[in-house]
Structure 1
Amino acid sequence: MFVHKLDDETYLKLVDYNDAEDLFQLVDRNRDYLRAWMPWIDMTQKVEDTKSFIESVMKKYANNDGFDAVIYHKGEVAGTIGLHQLNQSHKFTSIGYWIGEEFQGKGIVTRAVNALLEYVFDTLEFHRVEIRCATENVKSQAIPERLGFTKEGIIRDCEWLYDHYVSHVVYGMLKNEWDEKVQ
């Protein structure tokens, strides 16, 4: 089992079926909060829906096309983080994340993203990482900004969110920028 310690209270663990109940409960408790930005909330109505999600990300991992990890904080499931589509030819990927409202403001996602950047640039030796956030989701945007990503532009009306389109801010970081940051 893959576990990556972020600090004494927080770690990442590859998602598996044992996480289904706790992940579902976190989503259920944060349904209104997460629905503002996550298009899959209404499709997550029971634990079996979370198990279907887990099955899909386990296939993604088996196909070497990314992974999702559960973020644990003080022994509780706090959210998830993952790499979406590992483009081996062009050496780029994107990072996605979400966290329960009660876990915000503790730097948890910032530390988790930083750990994934280390993995992507130093282990996979990729050239580029993207993070996309809804233009109105300033809390999510604060993470790539805090970590030194470059704000590259806006993709207009790129995601259907229940009853309206949202635009995304695209943030990018290149390997040489990461290398400068960690020196």
Structure 2
Amino acid sequence: MLFDLESYYIEPIKTEDTWNICNFAVSNEDRLKRYFPKTLEQNLTPDLSRLFTEKKAYQFKSGEEFLFTLKQKDTNQLAGLIYIKEIDSIKKQGEFAYCIGYPFEGKGLTTKAVNTLSKYAFKELGLKTLQIIVHKDNFASVKVAENCDYIWKKTLKNEFTPPGEKPLNMELYELYNEIEP
């Protein structure tokens, strides 16, 4: 499965992504440490990245969590990671989390990727509600949610605690699968 985004493509994580993900994590460490601390700590060395990619590829196959890579076509350089996580098969609900590398920010890639994968989540995964949970000061992430037609629902009190910080209130955005008549 491959999703074409002009000069970029999205695909499910593969064990062959080990080096790309390690390089991405290390080169974007400052960007990942606050909102993606677990992803960062699991990818600081090639050995850790190998374990991470094996685990995430297994979780993808089992339907537990879906991690996609966003890559540049001409170089295969990893531009970003997009998760569909917190899958609730009873509620038919999932949550997006995404990060983009420094050289690729501001190009609308995350918006294109989330739009594409939202359609995939509705059609192929059978989800009915998709969520994006962001901090109000993460303006780029808020913009992605809004550009993808996710609707602000409420503030979640003390929802997320970054390493070494106090708990943060986070904003909940949702998108619903419209049922066709």
Residue 56 in structure 1 maps to residue 50 in structure 2: no
Which residue is equivalent to 2:15? 17
TM-score calculated relative to the size of structure 2: 0.88
CA shift for structure 1 position 42: 4.2
Which residue is equivalent to 1:46? 45
Amino-acid identity (%): 20
TM-score calculated relative to the size of structure 1: 0.87
CA shift for structure 1 position 104: 0.5
Which residue is equivalent to 2:81? 80
Residue 112 in structure 1 maps to residue 113 in structure 2: yes
Q: Measured at CA, do residues 42 and 58 of structure 1 come closer, stay the same or move farther in structure 2, by a change above 3 Å?
A: closer
Contact 2:83 2:96 (8 Å CA) reproduced = yes
Which residue is equivalent to 1:65? 64
CA shift for structure 1 position 46: 0.7
CA shift for structure 1 position 119: 0.9
Which residue is equivalent to 1:163? 164
Alignment of 1:140-151 (within 5 A): 140-151=141-152
2:134 alignment partner, SS class: strand
Q: What amino acid is aligned across from residue 112 of structure 2 in structure 1?
A: R
Q: CA–CA distance in 1 between the matches of 2:50 and 2:146?
A: 33
CA shift for structure 1 position 73: 1.8
Q: Measured at CA, do residues 79 and 175 of structure 1 come closer, stay the same or move farther in structure 2, by a change above 3 Å?
A: same
What do you get for the CA RMSD once the two structures are aligned? Answer: 1.8
User: Which shifted more, 14-23 or 41-50?
Assistant: 41-50
Contact 1:37 1:137 (8 Å CA) reproduced = no
Q: Which runs of 5+ in 2 are unaligned?
A: none
1:161 alignment partner, SS class: coil
Structure 1 segments (4+ residues) deviating >3 Å: none
CA shift for structure 1 position 60: 1.4
Pairs aligned (count)? 176
Q: Which runs of 5+ in 1 are unaligned?
A: none
Q: CA–CA distance in 2 between the matches of 1:89 and 1:33?
A: 34
CA shift for structure 1 position 174: 0.9
Q: CA–CA distance in 2 between the matches of 1:64 and 1:36?
A: 27
Q: CA–CA distance in 2 between the matches of 1:20 and 1:138?
A: 30
Q: CA–CA distance in 1 between the matches of 2:42 and 2:56?
A: 16
2:56 alignment partner, SS class: helix
Contact 2:21 2:43 (8 Å CA) reproduced = no
Q: Residue by residue, what CA displacement relative to the aligned partner does 1:84-109 show, whole Å, maximum 9, x if unpaired?
A: 13322221111111111110011111
Q: Measured at CA, do residues 33 and 90 of structure 1 come closer, stay the same or move farther in structure 2, by a change above 3 Å?
A: closer
